[in-house]
Amino acid sequence: MRTRTQVGIVGAGPAGLLLAQLLHRQGIDTVVLERQDEAYVRARVRAGVLEPGTVRALCDVGAGERMLRQGLVHGGFELRFAGRGHRIAMDELTGESITVYGQQEVVADLIDARRAAGADVEFEATVTEVAGTDTATPVIRYEQHGRTHELHCDWIAGCDGFHGVCRPPESPAYQRDYPFAWLGILASVPPSSDELIYARHDRGFAMHSMRSPTVSRFYLQVPPDTDLAEWPDERVWKELHLRLATDDGWRLAEGEVTERSVTGMRGFVSRTMRHGRLLLAGDAGHIVPPTGAKGLNLAVSDARLLGDALIRRYADGDEGPLDAYSDTCLRRVWRAQDFSQWMTGLLHRTEGAEFEQRAQLAQLAYVCHSKAASTMLAENYVGATGM
C-alpha cells in the first residue's frame, strides 16, 4: 500500500507526538508510526521531571490541562550527604519551578490531544526501512497487521529512540559509558518527602522521587551487570533506608513494589541531527545520564525547534531554520550533557582512594553553601541557561 504525507514521524514518544501536534495545528499533514501497541505506549514508565519550558510547550498544543491539575510543582529539591539534607531553592534562585509528572502521562495527554484535533497514531507499525533521505521524496517502509506499506514524505522525523531504525548506524557520534547503573523501583506508597531527594552515600547514590501523592519512585546506584533477581524487596528497602538516612531521624515509608528495572548510564551525542531529509529528535540523536533529568526535556526542546523550522519551511519556503536545526539543537544538548555529567560525578560513588571521596564531599558542601554555586545548579536543573 502506498500513501503520502508531508511529514512522516517515526516514534510515538514525547518528541514525535509533540512534533505531530505542533505541525497539525498549522495545517501540515503528518503520519505518526509507532512499533508498539497503544496500551504499551501509555503504560511505559520513564522520566517524570518537567522543566518550565516543557510545561509551556504542552500547554501551547492543548495537552497540558491534566498536567496542570495533577502534576506536582516543586520549587526546590534536596541534596543529602553526610547525614544531612540541604535544600536547593530553585524558585528563589531562578524564579522557576519544575513539575513532577510521569512521561507516560505526557504521552497519554499528547495522544488524546492528537485525537481531539482529528488525527491519530498508527500503532503496531514496524518500520523496516527509511530510504531516499538524500532526495526530495524520502520514503518510510513499514509493516502493520500483516501488510506492507510505503509512506512517501517531504520530510522524515526520526523520533524512535536510540535503538530505532532512523539513526544511520554509520553516523559518527560521541559516546561515554559510565561504570554504574540505576536500579529503579516504583512503589505504591505516599512519598516520604515533599520534594525530590538526591543522596550521596558511601554505599552509592540513592534518589527518592514521586509520581503522585500515592506513588513513589526510587533509584539505587548498582553495577551495570546487576541481576534483578538479586534484589528482592527486602534488600531494596534495606538499602534505601541506609543510603537515605539522616541524623535528625527522618523516616522512609515502605510499600508494595509494583515495578523494577535496571537502567544503564551513558552519554551519547550524534555529530549531526540531520541527514538530508531525515531529521532526528530525542533519544535518536542523544542520550544523557538521568541524574540531571534532561532526557525528556531535551526531546521536547528538539520537537519545538524542528516544528518551528518545518512550519517556516511550509509557510514561506524559508529553509534557514532547517539548515540551522542540528547546530541549534546540539548547543543545548552539549550544555545538558555537561551538566548531567557534572551532577552524576557529584553524587555517585566511584571506586577510588579516600582522597577522591573527600574531595567529592567538599564539592557538595560548596554547592550547598555558596549562593553562586547553588544558582548554577538551579539554573541548569530548570533549563534556564539561555541555550
Residue 232 belongs to a domain with what CATH number?
Answer: 3.30.9.10
Question: Are both 186 and 248 inside the same structural domain?
Answer: yes
Residues 203 and 244 in one domain: yes
Q: Are 7 and 121 within one domain?
A: yes
Percent of the chain with pLDDT over 90: 92
Mean pLDDT for all residues in the chain: 95
164 phi and psi, to 5 degrees?
A: -75, 180
The answer on 302 and 375 residing in a single domain is no
CB of 278 within 8 A of CB of 133? yes
Q: What are 33-78's pLDDT values in tens digits? A: 999 999 999 988 777 899 999 999 999 999 999 999 999 999 999 9
- CATH code of the domain containing 24: 3.50.50.60
Provide the domain limits for residue 371: 176-266+350-382
Does 335 reside within a domain?
yes
Cα 22 to Cα 58: distance, rounded to the nearest angstrom: 10
Residue 30 has pLDDT above 70, yes or no: yes
Is 56 a domain residue?
yes
Residue 220 and residue 305 in one domain? no
Cell digits of residue 367: 554547592
The cell numbers describing 146, all together, are 500483516
116 pLDDT higher than 90: yes
Cell numbers given for 201: 552515600
Phi, psi of 275 (to 5 degrees): -130, 85
Domain-embedded: residue 93: no
Q: What is the pLDDT of residue 130?
A: 97
Could you give the number of structural domains in the chain?
A: 2
Single-letter amino acid code for the residue at 179: P
149 assigned to some structural domain: yes
Q: Which residues are catalytic?
A: 74, 198, 290, 294, 381
Q: Which amino acid is at 336?
A: A
pLDDT at site 316: 95
- The CA–CA distances, whole Å, from 126 to 160, 197, 239 equal 11, 39, 41
Q: What is the rounded distance in angstroms from the CA atom of residue 21 to the CA atom of residue 31?
A: 11
Rg, the chain, Cα only: 21
For residue 202, being part of any structural domain is answered with yes
Yes or no: say if 337 and 269 are a contact pair by the CB < 8 Å rule: yes
Same domain, 335 and 363: no
Query: Count of CB atoms within 10 A of residue 1's CB?
Result: 8
Q: Is residue 77 part of a domain?
A: no
pLDDT at residue 386 in the model: 62
Candidates 295, 26, 256, 1; CA nearest to 144 is: 1
Burial annotation 322-349 (CB, 10 A radius, 16+ → b, else e): beebbebbbebbebbbebbbbbbebbbb
- Claim to verify: residue 354 and residue 250 sit in the same structural domain: yes
Using CA atoms, how far residue 386 sits from 159, 267, 283, 287, 335, in Å, is 25, 22, 22, 21, 10
Q: How confident is the model at residue 387 (pLDDT cuts 50, 70, 90)?
A: low
**Cα 328 to Cα 50: distance, rounded to the nearest angstrom:** 21
Does 123 fall in a domain?
yes
CA 229 to chain centre: 27
Query: In terms of domains, do 238 and 326 share one?
Result: no
Q: Kindly report, residue by residue over 174-191, the tens digit of the pLDDT.
A: 999 999 999 999 999 999
In a shared domain, residues 275 and 368: no
Do 243 and 300 lie in a common domain? no
pLDDT for position 45: 74
Residue 1 has pLDDT above 80, yes or no: no
DSSP, collapsed to helix, strand or coil, labels residue 300 as: helix
- Is residue 95 assigned to a domain? no
Q: Is the alpha carbon torsion for 180, 186, 187, 190 positive or negative?
A: positive
Q: What is the predicted pLDDT for the residue at 363? A: 97
